[in-house]
Amino acid sequence: MNSNNKLLFGIIITVFLIWAISAGVIMLTLDDWATRGTFGDLFGAVNALFSGLALAGLVYSLYRSREELGLQREEIELNRKELIKSRKTQEKSEKALEEQACQLRVASKINGLKILIDYYTGILADNNKAEDVRDRALVRRKELIKEVDTLIDRLSDEELE
């Protein structure tokens, strides 16, 4: 039981005890029912006062609830704006990661082509190889160099964008 429930329970018990004690005191001090009835009629205004106070408490409680709901709406709106900012940042990060992955793929291709170019350069440097083998190696090496140039140009174009 939380503290608000304990407080409410304590107030209810206190009011009930006061009511019970007052009933006992009235029964013991006033002799007949007519006198008791007249005495009870004196408290009609007090009943109206407590009813009015209860209504005022209810209205105040509704007003506070309305304020709390307004604050919750503002908080939800702020959270929504933050989520939109977060989403935009995440989208930018995702785009940057995609670009980085693309650049890594191109760099891997260039590294692979460099290995092949080095291989054909080795064939060209080997004088023991047949002339037709060296000619094919020279043609293939030129093709690979053109491909590397194309990839480098593509990377440069993407960086300018």
pLDDT in tens, 45-75: 778 878 888 899 899 899 899 999 999 999 9
Q: What pLDDT does 68 receive?
A: 93
DSSP tag of 138? H
Report for 25-34, 135-144, 151-160: range of highest mean pLDDT: 135-144
Mean pLDDT of 101-110: 88
CB 158 within 8 A of CB 101: no
> Rounded to a whole number, what is the largest CA-CA distance in the chain?
140
Which residues lie closer than 8 Å to 30 by C-beta, 6 or more apart? 36, 39
Whole-model pTM: value is 0.49
Per-residue pLDDT, 46: 74
Cβ contact 147:106 at 8 Å: no
Determine the Cα angle at 142 with ends 140 and 143, to 5°.
65
Nearest to 53 by CA among 15, 26, 23: 15
